[in-house]
Structures are given as structure tokens and as C-alpha cells.
Amino acid sequence: PVVLGVNSDPTRPHERLVLDADSLKKNARDERRSFGALCYATANNMHDLIPQILRGELDEKIQIRHRLAVTVRGTLSETRLPPALNDVLIAHPTPAAVSRFRLDRRGIDHESGQHDLFSLNCWSSGIWISSATGSTAAMASAGGDATILKSSKNMQYMVREHLLGENDDPISSKSLSRGIVDFRHYLQLRWNSQYGAVWVDGPHTRFDIELGDEILVSTHAIPLRLFSSAPY
């Protein structure tokens, strides 16, 4: 299937128009509810665009956007969350509370065959993790890199309001608390607060986590194909 955003941001499942060979489904929503950065059609031109799409005349406008795969490992279970097109927020459900976690970057260096990793203990307000598509959304507002190509398989992360201890090196901690992770690596969090939550693409999809849970994030989710006129 290919996603066509109409008047609204198609990261919201209830605001998508999905086109395939067998179905054409549309949910109309107020266009003022979302910025619509991923929209290709409007209410004024969709009647002209849909016949062109079905005839294959706009196939060159189809872009591949890589999404985030998120897995939560608990004591007795493992849960795969819906893929994130834009970003994931992992934080304590109370904004005024401290989010405590250990952040690891893991993966394999194919040249040396060795695990390439770092580990960082964080007391903070949580962490943003975004795909290339989400680099111009909340991540950019938080001070992230908005220049990543939208076709990139890389993701970026940023620890929010990182609290440094007396023995922490400010320069080293700052450099590790934000960065780019290529598709050969992934992020792993060990949640050290009593309560927490993972939000996928905004406030609607939330998964509660607890002390000791592990959260794995990579760009290995199935990519999304969508019509877009945005720079690629």
C-alpha cells in the first residue's frame, strides 16, 4: 500500500487515506488539526489527483520513509510497538518527575567484528528519538539536527534536560547525550525509574513501562511508501 496524506499529517492512523489495488478508504478531518508536512493532496485537488494515482501517473512522487522499530522487554514479556514515522518520546508520565535510565548504543562494526557501544547513565526529563522524517518536528524544536536527508536510514536522539552529577565530565556527557545513530546500530535503554511511558508519534499511542524494562529502538521497521512533494 501507499499512503496519501490529505489535509492532515498521516502519522495519525485515524487521519490516513490508504490506496491499494482493492480498497480506497478515506477519513475526512479538519485540516486545522495538523500542520500537514507529509500531505500531498488537499480537499480542493484530491478529486483530480486520485485518478492520476490509480493510473500510475504519479508514481515518481512516491517516497520511501524509514520508520523506527520499538521493542519493550519486560520481565515476562516482549512487546513490539507500532512503527514510528516521526519520533518516540520515552519519559516519566509526570512532567515534573526525573526520568532515570541507562542509555547504550549497540551494534556490530563489520570491519573489526567487535561490538561498538557506549553507555551513559541519565537523570533527565526523558529522551527524544527521531527518524529522518521526524528530524524537522519535535526534535528540531528541541535543538536537534533538521538537515538530515529524509531518505536517510539514520536516526537521532537527544536526552532532555540532562542533569549532570558532580563527577560527570560536562563535555563528554553533553557529546554523548545527543547524536546520530546509523542503521547498523541501535539504542537500548534500561529504565531505572519506578514508572515510565513510551509515546509513539505523539500522545495517542502510549505504552507504560516500569523499573527494569528495556527499550530497544532502531530504524529496522518496515519502511513507509507515501506520496510526497517534499525534498528527499
Helix boundaries (H) for 28-128: 46-54
The CB-based long-range contact list for 200-203 (8 Å cut-off, 24+ gap) reads 200/70, 200/81, 200/82, 200/84, 200/88, 201/11, 201/12, 201/82, 201/84, 201/85, 201/86, 201/87, 201/88, 202/11, 202/12, 202/86
What CA–CA distances, in Å, run from 63 to 38, 60, 150, 194? 11, 8, 9, 41
pLDDT by residue for the chain (232 residues), tens digit each?
788 777 655 555 444 444 444 443 444 444 445 556 788 888 788 889 999 999 999 999 999 999 999 999 999 999 999 999 999 999 999 999 999 999 999 886 555 555 667 889 999 999 999 999 988 878 888 888 888 888 899 999 999 999 887 777 888 888 889 999 999 899 999 999 999 999 999 999 999 999 999 999 999 999 999 988 776 6
Question: What does DSSP say about strands 78-80 and 118-124: parallel, antiparallel, or unpaired?
Answer: unpaired
CB-based contact 3:222 (threshold 8 Å): no
